[in-house]
Amino acid sequence: MGRVTELSVAALPSPKGHYSHATRAGDLLFISGQLPAPADGGAPPADLAGQARIALANLLAILADAGCAPQDLAKVTVYLVGIEHWEVFDRVYAELMGDARPARAVVPVAALHHGFLVEVAAVAALG
């Protein structure tokens, strides 16, 4: 029987709820939804581009801590308050992901915790 292990990244804020930054299950890494909470505990920017950068940076930090790179991402799910933000998010995403083009879903939502505009979760293959 497989075993699930938790991954916590010291450089990121601790999860505020009953969950971990990510879990490893077999050859997969499941990354919890990352809100644009700055690693230094400061206030996040109000604009979508700034929030997207932080949420994606947090996701990439978890990925790197597990020994993975953007090319190891299999699936990314994006929760976006207002589909009108799609183009801005896509621009920031493309810049930070480089050549990696994992499967992706963008889900428009009415609201996110703390009034944030974006949340990003992912599944990656472990090397």
Distance (Å, whole) CA 49 – CA 11 = 22
Percent of the chain beyond pLDDT 90?
Answer: 83
> In this predicted model, what pLDDT tens digit does every residue of 3-24 receive, in sequence order?
999 999 988 888 888 999 999 9
Question: What is the number of structural domains in the chain?
Answer: 1
Is 2's pLDDT higher than 70?
no
> In this predicted model, what pLDDT tens digit does every residue of 55-88 receive, in sequence order?
999 999 999 999 999 999 999 999 999 999 999 9
Question: Could you tell me whether strands 73-81 and 118-125 are parallel, antiparallel, or unpaired per DSSP bridges?
Answer: antiparallel
Percent of the chain beyond pLDDT 70?
Answer: 98
Domain that holds residue 72: 4-125
Q: pTM for the full model?
A: 0.94
User: Which CATH number is 36's domain given?
Assistant: 3.30.1330.40
